[in-house]
Structure 1
Amino acid sequence: MTRKEDLNLSTDTAGERVVSGKEDMAEGRVTAVRRGNITEVLNPDSLSQARTSTELENLTLHEERARVEVLREQAGSVSIRKVVKEREEVLPVTLTTETLEITVKDGAGKVTLNGEVLEPGRTYEVLIHDEKAVVQKEVFALSDVTLHKETRTYTHTENITLMREELDVRDPQGLVREIHSDG
């Protein structure tokens, strides 16, 4: 007694591909059995086998792969400029003046200053030297400031779950078997 199966490929409501077939019992006949992509023709009288391959469907399985893109964000900014500030200082300066004192005594004769007659007994003062403060500003280096920009590189790890499709064959009737090639 042999078995003949005609296989059909269909999709069930869950989106799974289902291979199904009809069974037919007959005695002494050539039997064709199709499993997956292989159609096996069996002749029980001569014990010879012939195989032909028939493609039912080509499935593409997918997987996720991670691709990392680095985004540069501005975390903050700094404004650097030179600012001139004013301050008042009190500088003590010692100044000197020189004067000439003229005192005319009685009976000393006639004394004139710039054409004026000086009176006896009085003291006159004539400015000879006078000092004035003249302030000049000089610029001196107060401090040197060096600005550096530093870039640090470090490794950061991200944990990510990736999915991969796999083929899940369900064989409740036990039809799957390994085929050995004679070549």
Structure 2
Amino acid sequence: MITKDMTRDLIGRQAVDTHGAKVGKIGQVYLDERSETPTWATVNTGMFGTKESFVPLQGADIDDGAVSLAVAKDEVKESPHVGRSDERLTGSEEGQLRHHYGTQDAAAGRSGHGTAADGTAGADRGRGASDDAMVRHEERLRVGTESEETGRVALRKYVVTEDQTVTVPVSHEEVRVEREPIDRDGDAGTARSGAMGEETHEATLHAERPVVDKTTEAVEKVRLDTRTVTEDEHVSDTVRKEEIDVDDPQQALRRDRDARS
């Protein structure tokens, strides 16, 4: 049960319906002017929380940090769009709400006016049954933003094969025959003059050949990063406003102005 002492603690809490579905956050709490018992509250509903609807606090309670209402979410969505001020509910406005939700006043036979408990400044709309003033209302657009997932980007590493050609200089040995004549009177070295016979000399040849080896090296780091880009987007919707015309077939206003002039 919602008591007077719990009034301030209700504001800003999440409201849930009879099935535990989220309805919206409590905006203002309205007290009965006689008993000061919390009777009504406004909840921010609709896209971006731009619509305010009245919900009854009769039968409501705080459960696990949320305000558990005794009405269904669909009832809140279909609640009458009464002309609400920031301070009071008139008797006729409260009557429309009670008729919609099927609630009754705690004190039989009376219909108390609701007064906002948060003290928000605003024009006084409900002055009493004897006030003949007509109040004009307008709808205003309240636009916010919400974050949603628009896509995902992933880094994927895979292996590709490509041909690579590298030029490598290689060398090899070649054999050549050198002939050195021996003079008759010269030094023949180890050659023995007059000795004949078979003899063999061998030379070992060498050549370089390319040798291919592979190594794996780290060449760069690649990571994903995000940045926020702000751009203007135009949002359009239709709003309603009330107009007040004067039905004065007898031109009473004109006569009154002429009399005062």
TM-score normalized with structure 1 length? 0.36
More strand per residue: 1 or 2? 1
Bigger Cα Rg: 1
More helix per residue: 1 or 2? 2
TM-score normalized with structure 2 length? 0.28
